[in-house]
Structures are given as C-alpha cells and as structure tokens.
C-alpha cells in the first residue's frame, strides 16, 4: 500500500515504509484502540455529562456510547471489520467534537482544555481515515478471513 516518494531525494524512507507496513499498521491500530479503551474504562461519556450537554435519554446514550467504544476497541485491536470499525469510530468522534468539545461555548477558563480535546478529535479522525483507506494490514483477523 506504500507508494514511492515524488522525488529520489525524498525516497530514503520508502524501503523502510514498505518493509514495515504491517507492523506499523498494527501499532497504529493498537494505539487508536488504546485511546478508545482508556475512555471507556474511565467511564466516559457518563450520563450526567451527556445530560449537561442536553442529550435526550442520557443514560441510554451513555450506554450506547460505551457499546460503540467497545466495538471500536475490538475491531481496531484485532483488525476485524477494521474499515467498519474505523467508520464507526469516525462517527463517534465527529459526534463528540460536534456536541461535547465546542470550545467556543465554554467559559474562558475551560476553552483551552476543550480546544485541546477538539484538536485531539481532529487528529484521531485523520488517523482513522488513513486506517479506513489502507485497511488493517496482514497482521489482522480481516486478513486471515480473506485467506
């Protein structure tokens, strides 16, 4: 899935990227999965927080969010249904930054934290988009199922 650089002066890392594609994709999947795992293990998003944001049925939405995060963790960690897991995670993160990390709606003292969280969400979305395009790599359940 790796392509050559546009110029020979920039090609120094092409061979490394080609040889290390699968371990790098595995590492990327694991790191993204760990991020979602830390959130779900930390208890967030909890019903009280979702209620403060005006979510309908916050207890149900919190439970749904936890289920989605666990599905994402399993999908990314094991590379099973990876592209679907990446799309589900993208939807989750987009909802999070559209509803929970609107830094401009927070008091001045809280804006820096919310801005950081929004920036993190954008970076995570970028990583998930790359994973969606590249797929999970050979070290995945998806690859085993492909045969």
H helix or E strand, kind and range, residue 9: none
Please tell me the predicted confidence (pLDDT) of residue 80: 99
What is the mean predicted confidence (pLDDT) over 122-130? 98
Query: Does the pLDDT at position 4 exceed 90?
Result: no
As a whole number of angstroms, the distance between CA 66 and CA 43 comes to 8
Q: Does residue 6 surpass a pLDDT of 90?
A: no
Query: In sequence order, what are the residues at sequence separation of 6 or more whose Cβ sits closer than 8 angstroms to the Cβ of residue 55?
Result: 61, 99
- Classify the C-alpha dihedral 134-30-64-114 as positive or negative: negative
pLDDT at position 147:
80
Q: What is the pLDDT of residue 2?
A: 62
pLDDT confidence tier of residue 123, bands split at 50, 70 and 90: very high
Confidence of residue 1 (pLDDT cuts 50, 70, 90): low
b/e code 44-55 from CB counts within 10 Å (16+ = b):
bbebeebeeeeb
Q: What is the mean pLDDT of the chain?
A: 93
The total number of residues written for the chain in this structure: 147
Percent of residues, the chain, with pLDDT higher than 90:
76
Q: What is the average pLDDT across 25-52?
A: 95
Q: What integer is the mean pLDDT of 13-30?
A: 94
pTM assigned to the model: 0.90
Look at residue 85 and tell me whether its pLDDT is greater than 90.
Answer: yes
The average pLDDT across 113-125 equals 93
């Amino acid at each position: 899935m790796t392509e050559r650089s546009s110029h020979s002066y920039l090609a120094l890392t092409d061979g490394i990227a080609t040889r290390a594609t699968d371990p790098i994709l595995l590492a990327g999947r694991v790191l993204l999965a760990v991020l979602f795992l830390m959130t779900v293990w930390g208890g967030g998003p909890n019903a009280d927080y979702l209620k403060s944001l005006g979510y309908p049925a916050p207890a149900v939405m919190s439970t749904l969010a936890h289920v989605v995060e666990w599905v994402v963790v399993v999908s990314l960690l094991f590379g099973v249904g990876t592209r679907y897991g990446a799309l589900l995670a993208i939807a989750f993160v987009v909802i999070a930054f559209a509803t929970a990390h609107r830094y401009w709606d927070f008091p001045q003292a809280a804006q820096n934290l919310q801005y950081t969280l929004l920036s993190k969400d954008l970076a995570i979305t970028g990583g998930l988009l790359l994973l969606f395009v590249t797929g999970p790599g050979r070290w995945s359940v998806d690859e085993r199922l492909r045969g």
